[in-house]
Amino acid sequence: MKKFIAIIVFIFAISHCYATDSIRLEIHFDFNKASINFLSKKSIDSFLKKVDTTQFIIKKISIFGHTDQIGKYYYNEILSTKRAESTEAYLKLIFGLSINLVDKLKGFGKRQLKTNSYSQLNRALNRRVELVIYFEKKKVEALKPSIDTPTTANQIIAISPKISYKKLAEKIKDTALQIGSIVELPYLLFIGGLHEFLKISYPYLDELYFVMKNNPTLEIEIQGHICCVEGTGDGIDYSTGQKNLSYARAKAVYDFLRISGIDANRMSYKGFGHQFPITSEITEAEKTRNRRVEIKILKK
């Protein structure tokens, strides 16, 4: 029965409303919790893939939080607002922290129940956040100039260097891995010139999350790097206009883990610009590998 309840709790509903150019999503929360759980994050990630970003641009997002019928009105008003705020934080991490797409954020407490039943299953349906994402057809624009050149996901898969990939969990358990060791995350990739993850990176972000969760004493420094600039300086992050691209990429990984529930005290982050290239950057595959994030083991 518990397994059945869990499956129902994390089902998300999608409806395409072409007349209003909007898409709707509903995610659910654990009892008396405001943080987004792992399955709801996966629901959001899958949901966002429904929007063809090559054709449409997201204009605004509305976020509405709700609770079940247990508890006092005032407490539930606060809890529902916190659920909406944690959803906003996760969305901002995905879209870029400098972009404010959320135009409405409100908690309704227990004023808009989906069901009045007090059964465990039905109360779980009331513990939710509703998202409405509005979008419009993208205008054709010239690409922004970037010396950290964008590459499509399919191209990256095709040109990625033939690195002997070993599961991160196995690397961490390896007794040869000492304090101060650097671990490369070869398939955690970014859009060129931005600190936004490519979609193919999310399984490897999830892998890093589970390693941190399953090794509670592990402490790391997240290190960002870039390619294709003269000298050792940093590149421009075109989502913010600041020359701190490697730093922003490291922080994006840090923010993903922190929002996922990893204690911030176990992590730090730092950008190294172009100080430590590991390839000659002649081929596109070599450039891709330098555009990377690594972790330094601080404590095991």
What are 20's two structure tokens? 């209003």
User: From CA 141, how far away is CA 51, in angstroms rounded?
Assistant: 19
What ranges in the chain are assigned the alpha helix state H?
2-9, 38-48, 73-95, 120-126, 153-159, 168-173, 202-214, 245-259, 284-290
Q: Is the pLDDT of residue 173 over 50?
A: yes
**Residue with tokens 């490291």, as numbered in its chain:** 250
Task: For strands 267-271 and 182-184, give the pairing.
Answer: unpaired
Residue pair 47/12 in contact (Cβ under 8 Å)? The answer is yes
- Are 130 and 176 within one domain? no
Segment 271-295 shows an average pLDDT of 86
- Are 223 and 293 within one domain? yes
Q: Mean pLDDT over all residues of the chain? A: 79
Q: Is the pLDDT of residue 170 over 50?
A: yes
Q: Please count the other Cβ atoms lying within 10 Å of the Cβ belonging to residue 288.
A: 24
Q: Is the pLDDT of residue 299 over 50?
A: yes
Residue 144: inside a domain: no
- Are 107 and 169 within one domain? no
Segment 168-179 shows an average pLDDT of 87
Segment 167-191 shows an average pLDDT of 86
Residue 142: inside a domain: no
| Phi and psi torsions of 235, nearest 5° | -105, 170
Residue 132's H or E segment, with its range, is: strand 128-137
| Amino acid code (one letter) for 43 | S
Q: Is the pLDDT of residue 99 over 80?
A: no
User: From CA 220, how far away is CA 270, in angstroms rounded?
Assistant: 11
Residue 229: inside a domain: yes
- Are 124 and 178 within one domain? no
- Are 174 and 121 within one domain? no
Segment 51-67 shows an average pLDDT of 77
* Domain of 188, in residue numbers: 153-299
- Are 165 and 282 within one domain? yes
Which pLDDT band holds residue 54 (cuts at 50, 70, 90)?
A: low
Segment 166-176 shows an average pLDDT of 83
Domain count of the fold of the chain: 2
Residue 17's H or E segment, with its range, is: strand 15-17
Residue 19 vs residue 229, higher pLDDT:
229
Task: For strands 56-65 and 102-107, give the pairing.
Answer: parallel
Residue 148: inside a domain: no
User: From CA 108, how far away is CA 219, in angstroms rounded?
Assistant: 38
Single out the residue of 170, 255, 260, 158 nearest to residue 200, CA to CA. 158
Single out the residue of 32, 27, 53 nearest to residue 42, CA to CA. 27
The four Cα atoms 241, 242, 245, 248 give a dihedral, to 10 degrees, of: -100
Residue 171: inside a domain: yes
- Are 212 and 283 within one domain? yes
Q: What is the pTM of this model?
A: 0.51
Condensed to tens digits (0 to 9), the pLDDT of residues 213-234 reads 999 999 999 999 998 888 898 9
Residue 246: inside a domain: yes
pLDDT score at 176: 83
Task: For strands 293-299 and 182-184, give the pairing.
Answer: antiparallel
Residue 169: inside a domain: yes
The neighbouring-strand residues paired with 25 are 131
CATH for 59: 3.30.1330.60
pLDDT score at 264: 94
Residue 97: inside a domain: yes
- Are 131 and 157 within one domain? no
